Structure 1
Amino acid sequence: MKASLLAGAGALTWGKSMAENPPQPLKGHVHHSVSRWCFGKISLEDLCRFSKEIGIESVELLGPEDWDTVKKFGLTCAMPSGPGGIAEGWNRVENHDHLVSESERYLAMIQAAGFSNMILMSGNRRGLSDEEGIENCVKGLQRILPLAEKLGITLCMELLNSKVDHKDYQCDHTAWGAELAGRLSSERFKLLYDIYHMQIMEGDVARTIRENIQYIGHFHTGGVPGRGEIDGGQELNYPFIIKLIVDLGYKGFIGQEFVPQRDPLTSLREAIHICDV
C-alpha cells in the first residue's frame, strides 16, 4: 500500500510539474542522465516519463530487472549496475574469483540489452597501501578486460570521497584512478568522475578534469556541501564545469546524482537546464 501511495503521489507531482512548466528545448551539447536512487520516492515509470519529456536520455544505476522499463520509454541506461559493492571491490585478491564470474554474467546481459558501460568499485583499503590496491585491481581487471573489449563495454570505476561519505574507500583521488587506468591501458577501462566526491577530496576540479579527461568515461553531479541541488546554493559552478567538459570534446553522459531537498522533479528539470551549456 505504501509503495502504491508513493507512486500515486509521484504521478501527481509529475503531472503538475509538466502542466505548470512545459518542456523547454535543450541545446543538444550534453547527453543527460539521472541516477535512479536519488529519486526513489517517484516510481521508475514516472521518472522515465518525466525524463523523456525534458530531454534526459538515460536513467542509470539500474539492475537488469529495470532495464526493460527504461527501454520502453525510449531511454537507455548509461551506467548499469555491476557486481560487488563499495566496500568489497577489486582491490582484494580474495574477491576476484567471485567478481570475475559475476562480471562475465553482467557483461553478457549488458551487451544483450544494448548498453555500453558497467560500474565498478575499488573496495575499501583495510590496511592496503595505494600501490598494493592498484596492483590487485590490475590483476583482477585484466581477467575481464578481454571480454569487455570484445563486447564493446567500458568498465567505469567510480571515484568516491573517503572523507565524508565512504570512509576507507580506496579509489578516492583522481591520481590513484588515473594510475590504474594508465597501467591497464585499455579504452574499455575508464573512471567515473563524480564531481561532488572529488570536490570534497581534492577540489581543483577544472584542472583535474582537464588533465585527466582521457581517463574519464562518465560524470556524476551533486551539490557541495550536502549533495543537494546543483544550483547557486552550493559552492560548485556547474555551468562552468560542464562547459569545460564539453569543450574538451567529451561525448559521454552527465549523470545527475544529487539528492533533492525541494520538489524532486522541479529540481531535476532545473539541474538539466543548469548543465545545458
Structure 2
Amino acid sequence: MKRRTFIGTSAAASVGMLACKTGNAMDKEETETKLKNNIDHSVCYWCYGSIPLEDFLKSLNELGIKNVDLIGPKDWPLLKKYNINSSMCNGAEISLTEGWNDPQYHDTLIKNYTEMIPKVAEAGYTNLICFSGNRRGMDDAVGLQNCVDGLKQIMPLAEKHGVVIQMELLNSKVNHEDYMCDHTEWGVALCKKLGSDNFKLLYDIYHMQIMEGDIIRNIQDYHQYFGHYHTGGNPGRNEINETQELYYPAIMKAIVATGYKGHVAQEFIPTWDDKIAALKEGVTICDV
C-alpha cells in the first residue's frame, strides 16, 4: 500500500533478541518489554492499514505505544476509547501534490485549515500536517513566497488555539516526484519567513536520507525547526534494522541530545508476516 493512496541490555542485544526475519510472532514475554520514555513513540497507521484500526489500537496498548499519526476526526473517538493520542492529525490538506505553494489552492486550504484547527484543539491534540505541493515548473523561491502568503493567513488562528502546523519534508527522487518541500534548507527558509513557533517541519528521516543524507548533522543544525520525526528504512522504506543503511540508535540519540520532547513515528512498511512484531522491533531499536 502506498501512502498517497491511503491519505485522504544494549541496543544491539535488543535488536538481536527481537529480530525475526521470518516474520514469526514474538512471544508474550518479549512484547512486554518496557520502554525507556526518552522517546515519545508513535506510528503511522497507514503502514498497517490491513489491520482494522480498533485491533491496531489494542496492539498499541499492549506495546505501550501511546500515539498514532495521520488519523482524521472521524476516528478520534476510537482513539480516545483506547487512550491513544493523535500525534499528527490530518484531514485539512487537499493532497500531497496540491498544496500551499500554488495560490489557486489557497482559498480551499484556508477554509479547510480554519475549520480544522479549532477541532484539533478541542480534541486536545496539537499537530496538524500540511504539504507544499508539487512544483509544476514553478521556481522554488516563488513557491516559497506563495506558501508564506497562504500560511500566514491561518497562523494567527493556529497560535490562538495552540495548534502547530507541520509541513512534511518528502523526497522527490523516488516516491514523490516534483514535490517542492524536498530539502531541509527550503523548509527552514519557510519557517524563518513565517516566524511562528506554531509552524514547524515534519522531518522524515527516510525521505531526507534519499535527498541529502547527513541526517545527524542536519538534526543538530536545524532541530529547532523540526516539530516531528518519521522513520523508515532506506532503501525500500521497510524495517529499520540491519537490512538497510540508516543506523537509527545513533539518530535517536542525536534527537534526544537536542532536548526534543515531541514524537517519533514509525513510518516503515513492514514486510514481515507479523506486522506488529515488526513494529515492536522498530520501536525497540529507537528506544534509546
Q: TM-score, normalised by structure 1?
A: 0.93
Alignment size in residue pairs: 262
Q: Distance in 1 between matches of 2:240 and 2:174?
A: 18
Is it true that 1:271 corresponds to 2:279 in the alignment? Answer: no
Is it true that 1:36 corresponds to 2:45 in the alignment? Answer: yes
Is it true that 1:178 corresponds to 2:188 in the alignment? Answer: yes
Kept in 2, the 8 Å contact 1:120–1:158? The answer is: yes
Q: Which residue of 1 aligns with 2:15?
A: none
Query: Per-residue CA shift, 1:234-261, capped at 9, x if unaligned?
Result: 0000000001000110000001000001
The one-letter code matched in structure 2 to 1:248 is T
5 Å matches for 1:217-256?
217-256=227-266
The one-letter code matched in structure 1 to 2:52 is S
Kept in 1, the 8 Å contact 2:31–2:280? The answer is: no
Aligned match for 1:117, one of 127, 135, 138:
127
Kept in 1, the 8 Å contact 2:110–2:153? The answer is: yes
Q: Distance in 1 between matches of 2:29 and 2:254?
A: 32
Q: Which residue of 1 aligns with 2:21?
A: none
Kindly report the root-mean-square deviation, in angstroms, between the aligned alpha carbons of the 2 structures. Answer: 1.0
Q: How far is the alpha carbon of 1:22 from its aligned partner?
A: 3.6
Q: Which residue of 1 aligns with 2:32?
A: 23
Q: Distance in 2 between matches of 1:22 and 1:148?
A: 38
Query: Per-residue CA shift, 1:44-94, capped at 9, x if unaligned?
Result: 111111112212111110111111111111110100113221000000011
The one-letter code matched in structure 2 to 1:25 is K
For structure 1, which runs of at least 5 residues remain unmatched after alignment?
A: 1-15
The one-letter code matched in structure 1 to 2:284 is H
Kept in 1, the 8 Å contact 2:239–2:268? The answer is: yes
Q: Which residue of 2 aligns with 1:74?
A: 83
Kept in 2, the 8 Å contact 1:125–1:169? The answer is: yes
The secondary structure found in structure 1 opposite 2:128 is strand
Kept in 2, the 8 Å contact 1:104–1:144? The answer is: yes
Kept in 2, the 8 Å contact 1:154–1:190? The answer is: yes
Structure 1 stretches of 4+ moved >3 Å: 16-22
For structure 2, which runs of at least 5 residues remain unmatched after alignment?
A: 1-24
> Which of 1 and 2 has higher RCO (CA within 8 Å, sep 6+)?
2
Q: Which residue of 2 aligns with 1:150?
A: 160
5 Å matches for 1:124-139?
124-139=134-149
